[in-house]
Amino acid sequence: MTEYDFWKVFPRMPKKVTIGDITIRDGFQHLEKFISTRAKKFYAEELVFAGCRNIEVTNLGNPYLMPQFSDAEEVLGYLRGERFKRRCSKRGINPDDVCITAVTIREPAVDQAIELKKKGIGPDRVLMMVSTEEEHHFANSGTTLPMYWKEAERCIKKCTDAGIKMCGTVSTIWGSPIAGATELRDAVEFTKRWLEIGASDIEHADHDGSASAPEVYRYFSMILDEIPNTDLHLAHFHETKRVASASILAALQAGITNFEATLGGMGGQPANFLDDCPVPGTGDYYYKDPRYVGLNCLEDMLVQIDEMGIEHGYDVDRVLKLGQLMEKTAGQRLRSEAVINGRTQKEGHMEFARPGLAKLKEKQGEKTGQLVPSEWGEKAVLPEKYQP
């Protein structure tokens, strides 16, 4: 007989997960309009109130290239300030339990993070990124891979001395929008390289939506076979083919416990146009239509995981309301289906029931809850030719 218990079929699949939010950084960096500093503070705070304990809030890179994050210091300062701490305390939240991340692709940004740390407003964690496909890596960082590895090694030592964690991202695992796919084994090796030089954790990133469920399961099974500590691994999926939910399920089945997402599924390559002005970003867009670019959607992912009975720590309804507000902030319809259709209601939606069923059953002499004719057998008899 088939085993029906999901957790027996996939014994590594967790009963509890951690989901970080990266809306305010990755989500906003793709928008071609500046999101106000006040809005960034609002959404960061509300996400924490909704249950988020790992939040990525800015990019400390050159604001000339990415002016969306010219307010980085003010956003970080607010999240270290007394008002935020008081508001957390009123809700029984210890602000020290919230890990604040800033992206620092290059060494000058790492140096800035350390200076902010000295001022008391620096991030708890920063992030640097390599791509297994070197053309993509060069487009993001402007360096060769050997050059970058040496830079990352220096930066990790600096961060360790300053009391800042460094996340090492491995990108283009399942494909690259520039030069195509690499071998999964390359990404496993890059993961080990990051840990060898002192990274605190690893983001395994599908940065262009290339991943498919079988390859996600295969890759994360390879990772956990060789590096079984699940605390070290974080899954990051982009949505370009509407299959990210399958990738999330495959990662869960492989045993991954840490994920990240954005409200509305926003995100992607940094914008090269902001408000009324062209900006450098990371150069020409490497996609044809911005409507089909973004990350896996926090709202839909929470509904998916919540309905699987997996613990996640969020107030799902509060996140759905935030998703509705985010569509007003972004000024467009975003990608969440859950903000429109809500969660699956086991009690149904009786407001849509048609009148007259009870009277018709009474007229027919049927009992309440009777589903088949009374003269039929209690159980269906399957014809022999269809029996297993």
Task: Summarize pLDDT for 117-163 with one digit per residue, the tens.
Answer: 999 999 999 999 999 999 999 988 999 999 999 999 999 999 999 99
The pLDDT, as a whole number, for residue 290 is: 76
Regions of the chain where pLDDT drops below 70: none
CATH of the structural domain 6-341, one choice from 3.40.50.1100, 3.40.50.9100, 1.10.340.30, 3.20.20.70: 3.20.20.70
Amino acid (one-letter) located at 323: G
The pLDDT value given to residue 373: 96
Using an 8 Å Cβ cutoff, are 133 and 180 in contact?
yes
pLDDT of residue 344: 84
Mean pLDDT of the chain, nearest integer: 96
Looking at residue 293, its pLDDT comes to 87
Paired tokens of 136: 């993509």
* The pLDDT value given to residue 207: 84
User: Where are the CATH 3.20.20.70 domain residues in the chain?
Assistant: 6-341
Show the tokens assigned to 340. Answer: 């429109």
Tokens linked to 25: 């950084």
Quick one: 188 exposed, middle or buried, by C-beta within 10 A (0-12, 13-18, 19+)?
Answer: buried
Q: What is the pLDDT of residue 180?
A: 86
Kind of pairing, strands 99-103 and 277-278? unpaired
- Token pair 């009690």 is found at 347
Cα 169 to Cα 116, 173, 234, 335, distances in angstroms: 22, 10, 9, 25
pLDDT of residue 177: 86
Closest CA to 306 of 63, 8, 51, 44: 51
Q: Phi first, then psi: what are they for 95, rounded to 5°?
A: -60, -20
Q: Would you state the pLDDT for residue 1?
A: 84
